[in-house]
A and B are shown apart, each in its own frame.
Chain A
Amino acid sequence: MEKEGLGLEITELRLGLPGGSAPILVDKNEKKRVFSDISGDHDNSSTDWKLTQTKNQTVGWPPVCSYRRKNNFQEKDRLETSKMYVKVSMDGAPFLRKVDLSMHKGYSDLAVALEKLFDCFGIGESLKDAENSEQVPIYEDKDGDWMLMGDVPWEMFIESCKRLRIMKRSEAKGFGLQPKDSDHKGNSKDVAK
C-alpha cells in the first residue's frame, strides 16, 4: 500500500542522508572507523529495496495460509541454541538475507557463508585487502554507526553487529575508507581507485 510505503521509509535500511549529499567520514574514536553512505535512489535495485522494507510489514504476504506458515516458516529447534540473526543486504540484490552469527567461528567463516548466500566472490578477499576488493562488507553496530567489517575482534563484532551490508566498491568510492593499519585520528585518506 502506498500509505504504508511512505510511513516506513523512515525505517528503511539506508545509510546517511536522503537526497544525495557529499559522503562524510565520521571518526568518533580511536577504536572505531565509521563511514556513512549516501542513500541514492538511482536504480531499480534501490526501489526493490524500498519494497523489501514495506513487505516486511505486509500482513498475509506471501499468501501462504497460516497453518503452513506455522509449520514451515519457523525453525523447529530440537536444540535450544541462541541464535544471533542479523539481516544482510547486498547492493544490487533485491532480497534481504539473514545470517546467524552464532553459527560462525570467525570472519573468514562468515565471509564464505555470505559468498554462498549471495552467490558472489570477493568478500573473503576484502577482509584481507580492503583497498582492492570489489565487495566492501560493512555492518551497523549498536550505536547505529556503520563500520568496516573485520576490524574488531570477532567476539566483539558479533556482540555489537546489528546488521550487515555488502557494498560495491564503486559505491564506496570517495568515502575515505581507511585501511586497517592507518592513522585513526581523523585523517581521511582518499583510497578510491
Chain B
Amino acid sequence: MDFSLPTEPMNHKRKNPDPSPDSDESTTQLSSPFPDEVLERVLSLLNSRKDRNSVSLVCKDWYDAERWSRTHVFIGNCYSVSPEILTRRFPNIRSVTLKGKPRFSDFDLVPPKWGAYVHSWLLVFATKYHFLEELRLKRMTVSDESLKLLAFSFPNFKALSLLSCDGFSTDGLASITTHCKNLTELDIQENDIDDKSGKWLSCFPENFMSLEVLNFANLNSDVNFEALERLVSRCKSLIVLKVNENMTLEQLHRLLVLAPHLRELGTGSLLQELTPRQHSELKSAFNNCKNLNMLSGFYEVTSIFLPVLYPACTSLTFLNLSYAALRSDGLSNLLVHCPLLQRLWVLDSVEDEGLEAVGSNCPLLEELRVFPASDPFEDEILHGVTEAGFLAVSYGCKKLHYVLYFCRQMTNAAVATIVQNCPDFTHFRLCIMNPRQPDYQTNEPMDEAFGAVVKTCTKLRRLAVSGLLTDLTFEYIGKYANNLETLSVAFAGSSDRGMECVLKGCPKLRKLEIRDCPFGNAALLSSFRKYESMRSLWMSGCKVTMDGCRLLAQEMPRLNVEVIRECGNDGFQADKLYVYRSVAGPRKDAPSFVLTL
C-alpha cells in the first residue's frame, strides 16, 4: 500500500467543530490554529500520495483531516491491506486504484487462480463507498459477477479501467454498459478476457451520452458498427477512442468524421486497398483532427497507408506502433511529420536504421520502448536492434529519460556513452534477449554498463538488468542507486553477495523481483528488516530453500512470506517466493499451492 499507517487504526470522529484559536486542547499536543473544516479544505487540494502520507504523520488532527478529505486511494498490493481497514480509515473515497498479482505473472510465472480477487473488495465498497466513481485495476482477477456487482452498487459510477486483468468475459462488460448511466470511461487493456461477442457495445442505452473514453482495442469480436457510430455521434465529449483490429478503414473514416475532436485514437487494421477517393477522404478526415496527441493500433500496417496519417501527426506526443511490424523506411517517413513526439513505442522490426530516424527527427523524445517483433528463439529472425540504435537515439534525444529496450547485443562502451548523452534517466530497462550474454565485442560481463547507469543517472527510479553480470553489478547498484525504487533481475549475479549488496544499499528500494539467479538463503536473510520498508520481493528459480523462508517468516511476523509450490517440487527448494508487508495478516483466500509460512 502506498499510504503510511500508524500501528493501530484510528477511529476518531470529526472533532473541534469550532475551536477558539487560543483554547487549550488537552487531547492534542499541538493545538491546531484553525478549525477542522478549514484544514480539511486545504488538505483536499493535495493530490500527491506522498504529500498526503506526510501530512497524515504530522499529528492526530492532521491525520484526521487528511483521512476525511482523501477521495482517491492507491493500493499497490491488494494483499497489503484489507477492504475493512481501508474503509475504516478513509470514509470518503470516490476513486480506487488496486494492483494485484506480482508483475512476473505477466510472464506466466504465477499459476492461474493465484488470487487477487476484486470481489471481496467490491462487497465492502458496496456498503461503505456508495458514491464510488472510479475503479482502476491492474493484474486483478475480475469475474462477471464482480462486474455485475459493480454495475448495480454504485449509482454514480463513472470510470472503469482494467489492465492485465483476467477472469471475466464480455458478458461482464455488458453489465457495465447496460447499467452504468453515468459512465465516462471504459478502458479495457491487455486483459485475458473470454471474448464471447461484441454485444456489450450495443447495450449502451440510446440516450446515453456521457462517454469520454472508450478503449476496446483488446477485444476481438466484432461490435455492431452502427451502434458504435450512433454512440460516437451522441457522445460529444468523447476524447479517447481505441477500436479493435476488426474496424475497417471505411469505418474508421466515418468515426473520424463524427469525432474530429478526439485526442487519442486507436486504429483498427490498416491493411486494406483504398481507392484514391477513399484515400483522400481519409486523409482529409485526419486533417480535421486538430487535437490528436496520441495514435495507437496500427494492426497490420503497410507503409503505403501511413501518408494518410501525416496531417494528424503535427501535434502528436505519443505514438504507439508496438503492434505494427514497420520497417525502417516506413518509420522514418512517418517521424518526419511528428516533431513534437515525446513517447514512442515500436517493434524492433524498424532496426537500428529506424532508430537513427528517431534520433534525427524527435528532439523532444522522453520515452522510447522497443519490443521484439517476433520470438527470437522461435520465429524467422529479423535483425532486431543493437547498441547502434540505442546510441543513435541518445545522440539525438537529449530529454530521454525512460527506455525499455529489447536487443540482441550490447556493449559496455555503448551504454556508458548513452548515459553520458542522457544522464537524466529515471527508468532504464535493458533486455539483452540472450540470457547471460556478455559484451559481444570484449566478451566481458556487462557489469560496467550498469555501473555507468547507476553512477551517472542519479535520478534513476527503475532499473532492469540483463546480459552476463557478476556480483560487481550489484555492488554498483547498492552503492550508487540511491533513488532506485524498482529493480528487476534475471539470470544474473555470481553469489549471495550480489543480492546482499542491493539489500544493504538502495535506501529507497520498494520492489525487488528476481528470477533464475544464484541467490540463496544467506542473501534472503541478510537484511530481512529491509523487506518491511519495501512493497514486495519476488524470487523464483533461485537457491532459497523452504527452511530459509520459514526463518524469514519467523523473524518478521508482519511480513507475508508465501511460497508457490509447483508439482514436482521436492519440498526442499522454495522455487517461487513472494514476500510482502501487510497490515491485513496472512491471506485468507490463498489457494492450496500457495503456502503462507
Query: A-side interface residues toward B, CB under 8 Å?
Result: 1-2, 44, 48, 51-52, 55-56, 58-69, 71-73, 75-76, 85, 94-100, 117
Report which of A55, A56, A72 forms a contact with B374, defined as CB distance below 8 A.
A72
Task: Assess the A62–B372 pair: CB atoms within 8 A.
Answer: yes
CA distance A58 to B490 in the complex (A): 12
Which residues 503-561 of B sit at the A interface, judged by CB distance below 8 A?
515-516, 518, 541
B592 contacts the other chain (CB 8 A): no
B518 partner residues in chain A, CB cutoff 8 A: 2
Smallest beta-carbon distance A9→chain B, Å: 16
Task: Assess the B323–A71 pair: CB atoms within 8 A.
Answer: yes
Task: Assess the A72–B106 pair: CB atoms within 8 A.
Answer: no
* SS class, residues of chain A in contact with chain B: mixed
Task: Assess the B190–A100 pair: CB atoms within 8 A.
Answer: no
| Minimal Cβ-Cβ distance residue in B for A119 | B383
Query: B-side interface residues toward A, CB under 8 Å?
Result: 104, 106-109, 164, 190-192, 218, 300, 322-323, 325, 347, 371-381, 406, 408, 431, 433-438, 443, 488, 490, 515-516, 518, 541
CA distance A94 to B435 in the complex (A): 11
CA distance A63 to B514 in the complex (A): 12
B218 partner residues in chain A, CB cutoff 8 A: 67
Task: Assess the B377–A75 pair: CB atoms within 8 A.
Answer: no
Task: Assess the A56–B109 pair: CB atoms within 8 A.
Answer: no
The answer to whether residues A94 and B323 also contact, given A75-B379, A100-B380 and a CB cut-off of 8 A, is no
Given contacts A51-B437, A55-B377, 11 further A-B contacts (CB under 8 A): A58-B516, A60-B106, A60-B107, A62-B431, A64-B406, A65-B164, A66-B106, A67-B190, A68-B190, A72-B371, A96-B377
8 A–B pairs (Cβ distance < 8 Å), ordered by A: A52-B377, A52-B434, A56-B378, A59-B107, A72-B372, A98-B379, A98-B381, A117-B380
B541 partner residues in chain A, CB cutoff 8 A: 1
B406 partner residues in chain A, CB cutoff 8 A: 62, 64
B435 partner residues in chain A, CB cutoff 8 A: 51, 55, 58, 61
A1 partner residues in chain B, CB cutoff 8 A: 516, 541
Smallest beta-carbon distance B186→chain A, Å: 18
Task: Assess the B380–A85 pair: CB atoms within 8 A.
Answer: yes
CA distance A137 to B211 in the complex (A): 61
| Minimal Cβ-Cβ distance residue in B for A113 | B380
A69 partner residues in chain B, CB cutoff 8 A: 375
B375 partner residues in chain A, CB cutoff 8 A: 69, 73
| Minimal Cβ-Cβ distance residue in B for A58 | B435
B373 partner residues in chain A, CB cutoff 8 A: 72
CA distance A69 to B515 in the complex (A): 20
Task: Assess the B436–A98 pair: CB atoms within 8 A.
Answer: no
Smallest beta-carbon distance A116→chain B, Å: 10
B109 partner residues in chain A, CB cutoff 8 A: 59-60
Task: Assess the B434–A51 pair: CB atoms within 8 A.
Answer: yes
A2 partner residues in chain B, CB cutoff 8 A: 518
Task: Assess the B371–A61 pair: CB atoms within 8 A.
Answer: no
Report which of B190, B323, B376, B488 forms a contact with A62, defined as CB distance below 8 A.
B376
